[in-house]
Structure 1
Amino acid sequence: MWILVYIFFIILNAIAYFVPKNIKKSEIYSTSIFAILFGFITDEVLNLHLNLYGYFNHGFQWQGFFSSFMYFIPINNLFLNYFPVKKGPLIKAKYIVIWTLFSVLFEWLILQTEYLYYNGWKLWYSALLYPFIFLILYINLIVVRKLNNSEKC
């Protein structure tokens, strides 16, 4: 049943690829690398080191590694592409809450497919962490923009 997860990943990547872009290619590239690195570090600590959750079976799994690229990059790009940068803090907070709800729902659905399993982790932990994760992704975009606009050395 986990094949449904990959089908979703393919659809998600197609959407991320074909939507009109509101961020520059250099921002997509930079923030995608950050999102992958951030995801890998998180998985290294919570999955492989602390064994709180995992993909398919205990330990490193190539399917989980590969799917990280298929998930972290399009989610990062879609989240940042439509982020309400010029809106007030309340609108930004609502936007992050919507992405958090989507992420928690998606994580719950993935749990039903045996693609992801918990070994001490709880879904509500994710619900508490997702807002911070999305905020970090947005802060990274701000840093990338500042670096792109800074004077050349």
Structure 2
Amino acid sequence: MILLIVSVLSFNWLAFRPNRVEGRQQTAHVWAFTMAFQLLFDLLFDFKFKGYWYFEKNSVDWTAFLARTLLIPPVNLLFLGFFPSERRFLAKAGYLAAWTAAILGYELLTMLPAPWGYFHYGWRNIGYSAVVDPILFFMLLFYYRCFIQSR
């Protein structure tokens, strides 16, 4: 729980300090997309398939509300805000690889014992995240470029 609270505060502070996503409306769109997608993903993999859970395994966990609504959106704002869209493919691939590695490292930290950690695996493991996280980043970039980014 300690890591979650510190992460929510620090990621939000970082995301809104140099907010390079253009404007409040685009920020709200990224936030809404992220929350909707996160809740859909969690509905399937947390509640339906028991692949992972945040604090409690067999119940709706209100403390996980922070993780579902205030943790991932600012991370996505940071990812989009510093994405090297004007650079070559190798720079973009390196950026994506660095963010994936950082997310995987953070995921390992979240599995520390209480009171520090808050995330638990069911049948899912870090290997699934290593495959799925870049796909989720691509989906975020696609949505941002097609529906949010100003022309």
Could you state the TM-score of these two structures normalised by the residue count of structure 1?
0.89
Partner of 2:143: 140
C-alpha separation in 2, matches of 1:143 and 1:101: 26
2:42 matched to 1:43?
Answer: yes
Tell me, yes or no, if the aligned pair for 1:31 and 1:76 is still in contact at 8 Å. Answer: yes
Distance 2:19 2:34 in 1: 20
Residues 131-140 or 64-73, more deviating: 64-73
Partner of 1:122: 125
- Native 8 Å contact 2:19 2:78 kept in 1: no
**Alignment size in residue pairs:** 147
- Counterpart in 1 of 2:94? 94
Deviation at 1:88, TM superposition (A): 1.8
Matched, 1:109 2:112: no
- 1:48 maps to a residue whose letter is F
Q: CA deviation at 1:20?
A: 4.3
Percent identity, aligned pairs only, is 24
Give how far 1:93 is off. 1.2
Q: Deviation digits for residues 102-132 of structure 1, max 9, x if unmatched?
A: 1000000001144111111101110111111
Describe the shift of the 1:22–1:45 C-alpha distance in structure 2 as closer, same or farther (beyond 3 A). closer
- Tell me how far apart the structure 2 counterparts of residues 26 and 90 of structure 1 sit (CA, whole Å): 31
AA paired with 2:122? N
Task: Give TM-score, length-normalised by structure 2.
Answer: 0.90
How far is the alpha carbon of 1:30 from its aligned partner?
1.0
Q: Does 1:62 align with 2:62?
A: yes
Alignment match, 1:7: 6
The residue type paired with residue 44 of structure 1 is L
